[in-house]
Amino acid sequence: MSVASRYRQAWEGFWSEAPEERGAVFWDAEPTLTAARHLALFEPHLTDAQLPLIDLGCGNGTQTRFLADRFPHVVGADLAGAALDRARRADPDGRAAYRQLDAADKAEVEALHAELGDANVYLRGVLHQSAAEDRQPLADGLAVLLGTRAGRCWWSRRRPPNPSWRDWPRAPTGRRPSWRPSSGTASHPPRPPTAPSRTICGRPV
């Protein structure tokens, strides 16, 4: 099984088994606490706000819907079809478009770029959930999506708010995260926490 297939399988399993309740998944935060704050930082750096905006790693689409109310053409892209199914169900009016995409696959990102042209990219919690050796293909894919006219991409990495939220899927290991309650919350395979950081990156990525 290829690296890409293992990532896809891990995330399909994650989103198939995750609770449906709003906010049950760690990063399914209120947009006022996430995308809205990020928007204030990255919007001044956009060279053309009329370009399509790709919410890469959109998950169940909470941030995508927020962004779709503020940009004319927003596409939520995710590796997992199960995540996109949730995003579409939560967006019955079709405020955004949704696409399954492996951003580390050169052919897939080139096909999306050929369809959309240069695009601004909103990125929150994708690169740091990949193994270090797998991040360069993702960065290369971002460069393709941005093209020559797009402004910036954004990502953030934050420490879980309490010890019971220990981790989320990272490098594919064949082990799916557990949703058994632990002190009233879901539990995940352990990983050493990382210090909070925020970065705005320009192009090239």
The number of CA neighbours under 13 Å toward the Cβ of 99 is 18
Record the tokens describing residue 90, joined without a space: 């939560």
* Number of C-beta neighbours around residue 155 at 10 A: 21
3-state secondary structure of 181: strand
pTM metric for this prediction: 0.74
Per-residue confidence in pLDDT tens, the chain, 205 aa:
466 788 888 889 988 888 888 878 877 889 998 999 998 888 888 889 899 999 999 999 999 999 999 999 999 999 999 999 999 999 999 999 999 999 999 999 999 999 999 999 999 878 778 888 888 999 999 999 999 887 555 554 544 333 333 333 444 444 444 343 333 333 333 333 333 333 334 433 3
